[in-house]
Amino acid sequence: MSVLVGKKAPVFTTEAVVNGVEVVEKFSLEQYIGNKHVLFFFYPKDFTFVCPTELFAFQAKMAEFEKRGVAVVACSTDTPESHWGWLQMPKDKGGIQGVTYPIVADTDKTISANFGVLAGEYDLDENDHLVASGPMIAYRGLFLIDKDGMVQHQIVNNFPLGRSVDEALRMVDALQHFEKHGEVCPANWKEGDQAMNATHEGVAEYLAAH
């Protein structure tokens, strides 16, 4: 599993479902370069259990992300048809109807592999038959990508462990505060808290106040 922080986010062009209904054949994160920060997150599978709680949790905070100029994009290794079908199902029937941000279809699993979150690997057996070790689905990876296409933050959770959308927003705020003011953000920092200069004097001043 790779660490992408400080590196360019892998480039891809693939199918995605946007606005809950439209299948786009050539979707890419490059459309946001220079204009928006991107919160790109992977989830394991459509029609499962923890995954819809995360998808709805991100949807519930869309106004907060939009206010900050952040594009939210999801991805799993399911097909675009699977995404589309799940998006048409009402919430009380186990679906994710009402989710509007793009959901990328990583059907050939290359995006998950390039982002380092694919659980499992392909190999050849003694008869040259293609076999897979592991489930070949994505862990719960999350990547905060800046306007230059650089990964600034990532987390990867195992399948049973849902993520905190509030923490994702906190990291957006921290990155944007640093970009705007040049101040670094200490432990447990949140918007409105004191940040600090990245100097010995700045650290001493902050610690003295706390």
pLDDT in tens, 153-192: 999 999 999 999 999 999 999 999 999 999 999 999 999 9
Considering only CA atoms, which of 117, 189, 184, 110 is closest in space to residue 152? 184
Look up 75 and say whether it is catalytic.
Answer: no
Q: Summarize pLDDT for 48-74 with one digit per residue, the tens.
A: 999 999 999 999 999 999 999 999 999
CB atoms closer than 10 angstroms to residue 182: 10
Q: Which architecture, in CATH terms, is 14-162? A: 3-Layer(aba) Sandwich (3.40)
Q: How far apart are CA 19 and CA 115, in angstroms?
A: 24
The active-site residue, picked from 51, 55, 151, 175, is 51
Beta strands in the chain (DSSP E): 14-18, 22-27, 37-42, 70-76, 103-105, 118-124, 130-138, 140-145, 151-157
pTM of the model: 0.94
Q: Where in the chain is the domain with CATH 3.40.30.10?
A: 14-162
